[in-house]
């Protein structure tokens, strides 16, 4: 299967800031470390289910070498005045299941100080599009049962199943992805 050919694009966030979404690449190692270091303890727990202190070299390698088929990873960054490099503000990724090629595990995180600005929304929508392109039709994800924000985000891109408890307040949800929106055909204004 050909790797996902997601086209990098600009997006407008809630406060009007222009963000840029693109496939993650090996050169994003430092950005990933910076993004991880910025996370609050609560965010680490919500994403990893414990207060993860750092990403190991092995994890950093794996997370920055998505193959676009079994692992798709998108990053969102913004250019800020006075900062020489773009600020990484979120990552969304999915890992295809070995036993069901139409299914993948989804994970998403955004910087604490950029929450509520639409970063999660644009990332999940872009990831759904990229996943669909390579034949992924269903996501599953583990989340704390009170994590309504991620549920709301997922329900924008697919149909959510009932929760399945997997322990300690953590549930697994399934999300049957909707086909990406088709471009609206141009309406001819000429008289027929
Ligand atoms: C879940 C998570 C990724 C959401 O990221 P985010 O960047 O805050 O997402 P958004 O800004 O797109 O949406 C968050 C809320 O802001 C709202 N919002 C989005 N754009 C907005 C705007 N322009 N104006 C006002 N509100 C807005 C959304 O509707 C959403 O509201 P809701 O919580 O009532 O559903 C983030 O909270 C996170 O990283 N959490 C920790 C990790 C985690 O829980 N991951 C999920 C398990 S893998």
Beta bridge partners of 72: 94
CA proximity to 28, closest of 68, 74, 72, 67: 74
Render the burial of 111-125: b for 16+ CB within 10 Å, e for the rest: beebeebbbbbbbbb
The pick from 38, 87, 121 for probing ligand 1's pocket by mutation, whose C-beta has the most ligand atoms within 8 angstroms, reads 121
Tokens representing 11 are 């997006």
Cα 69 from Cα 47, distance rounded (Å): 23
Q: Does residue 162 register a pLDDT over 90?
A: no
Question: pTM, whole model, 2 decimals?
Answer: 0.94
| Domain 9-135, classified CATH 3.40.630.30, yes or no | yes
* 131 within ligand 1 shell (Cβ under 6 A): no
117-125 average pLDDT score = 97
Instruction: Classify residue 87 by its DSSP letter.
Output: E
Map out the domains of the chain as residue ranges: 9-135
* pLDDT score, position 192: 42
136-153 average pLDDT score = 96
The residue count of the chain comes to 192
Q: What is the CA(13)–ligand 1 centre distance, in A?
A: 12
* pLDDT band at residue 187 under the 50/70/90 scheme: low
């Amino acid at each position: 299967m050909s790797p996902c050919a997601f086209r990098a694009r600009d997006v407008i966030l809630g406060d009007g800031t222009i963000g840029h979404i693109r496939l993650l690449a090996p050169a994003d190692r430092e950005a990933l470390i910076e993004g991880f270091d910025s996370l609050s303890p609560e965010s680490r727990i919500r994403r990893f289910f414990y207060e993860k202190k750092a990403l190991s070299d092995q994890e950093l390698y794996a997370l920055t070498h998505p193959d676009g088929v079994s692992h798709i990873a998108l990053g969102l960054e913004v250019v800020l005045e006075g900062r020489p490099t773009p600020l990484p503000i979120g990552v969304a990724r999915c890992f295809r299941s070995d036993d069901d090629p139409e299914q993948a595990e989804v994970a998403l995180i955004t910087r604490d100080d950029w929450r509520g600005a639409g970063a999660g929304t644009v990332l999940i929508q872009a990831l759904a599009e990229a996943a669909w392109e390579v034949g992924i039709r269903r996501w599953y994800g583990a989340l704390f049962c009170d994590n309504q924000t991620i549920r709301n985000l997922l329900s924008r891109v697919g149909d959510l199943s009932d929760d399945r408890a997997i322990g300690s307040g953590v549930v697994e949800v399934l999300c049957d992805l909707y086909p990406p929106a088709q471009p609206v055909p141009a309406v001819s204004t000429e008289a027929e």
